[in-house]
Structure 1
Amino acid sequence: MADTYLTLGGMSFIDDFTVPEAINGGGTHHVVLHRFIGGARVIDALGPDDDAIRWRGRFRGADASFRVAMLDVMRRSGRPVILSYWTFRYRVVVTRFVWRFERFYEIAYAIECTVVQDLKARAWTAVASGLDSLFGADLSLAEMLGVGAAAVNDALAAVLMAQAAAGSLGTATRSGLGGVLSAVTMAVSVAATASMAAETMAGSVGGVEAGGDPQAMGAGLVASGNAFQEAAAGVQAGGVFSRMRANLEAGG
């Protein structure tokens, strides 16, 4: 998989060592089986149950320990993040992350992510249901990203208000569609600004230094990790808003 770009919570896995050789996928469909006299059966289908996504690799280079610390912040926080590679995209929680320190520049790792939602499956369902469903699915996704920036949340609220005023997008007036499109375009800009601000904050926090105060360095890593995730969430929200705008322009 060295030719595949993988990201988790905004962290990129792009070189031959960090990118795993393979990633598992799929899962089962959870059912309840009722058996009756005479061999009759009734099966209640309860829904898909995705397997945990697992892979392993190694970090190599001067930033190896920093990358390990960032992933451990994700594990400790229990906060849902976006996992994407190739055409696959999931909302996951990092439920297991372990590493083996070999050198300061060479650290092997293994990771396990529990799937909260298969976002690609959600997108395919939305495609089959028309513009309203597409737009609604993206609104739900934007809300689920949980961007902490107040400006992004205000922009999302403005989009929701514009959609409510317009009614069904398939039958909305030109004026109604224009109001929704204007709100979404503003949200694209706001998300980009918020992401840049969070990225700047992440870069300004002190990292790990030889002889430094462990408590201060730990607090710095947590703050940097939170800001890094906030920047990634802003980028993802901007991508969702951009797709909403493209769908509106194509469907309007």
Structure 2
Amino acid sequence: MGIGLSDIENAIGAVGRLGSSSPVILGNLVLTGIEVPDTLQVGGRQMLVVHRLPGGGRVVDALGNDPGRLELKGRFLGPDAQMRAQAVERMRMAGQQVAFSAAGLSVQVWIAQFTYVYQAKGAVCSYTLILERPQETASTQTSSTLSGVLGDDVGSALDSFSGVVSNVSEGVFTAAGQVSSVVGQVMPLASLVGAGGFAAKVTDALGTVNGVAQSGMNLATVPSALASVAGGLESGGSGLQSVITGAGQNVESIQPVNSVSLNALGQNAALLSAATDAGSLINRAAANVAVAQGQETSVPSVFA
């Protein structure tokens, strides 16, 4: 089955919306962006026994809720597509319950069926996943206080930091040909805020964490989700620390001898301030996750 231009355009669009896509968690895998299933069928039935009486009357006995299987269809995309599909296959073969969270659901499930199609030499693996649910009650799943706290902290950090990075980036690439005019610059701003730079890694990591926190799951009851959040916070914190170090060195070293240097000094100062503020929020979020994981202390991810 070939991959058409529309498929590529849809994939690019989905990657661009990575931070806003509600993630799906299955065991130790977090599916975001293009990997989020296209469809998720949810439902079930009420088991009823109908006793038919003479004259058309009948008595109905409700025996209880019978949750239907969860059916998902989507795709893995990229150089690790087949590896991630095989990870789900191993979960199916193990026959153990795994955590599942999506669309406001947060339950333990069994993988009843999983198939994937190897496409584009392994760069695309379309999959079908069928999950068996345990008996459930009529009560609904609600987000834990932890989820709300993380959402507030990480969301605020992401919004403020991304806004400053966007503003700085515009100035950086406008004056790209004048980098050599900045006297004393230790690390060019393009290395901090450009594609693949430290700031991009921070926004990617925090975007994924924010998506998990906002997904509606009760994080306190899903250890795999907590581990994923902890890893994302660590990655985001490491990137922020690199931004703080690079921008801080530039603020101390740049000599404002011309307009370009003065502009670069202001941009570095703004980036340093935003990274420091975001770092304090990430440290608090990491501490809350550590407590939820049963750890008494948490070493700060970011040192200002």
Q: TM-score, normalised by structure 1?
A: 0.47
Q: TM-score, normalised by structure 2?
A: 0.39
More strand by share: 1
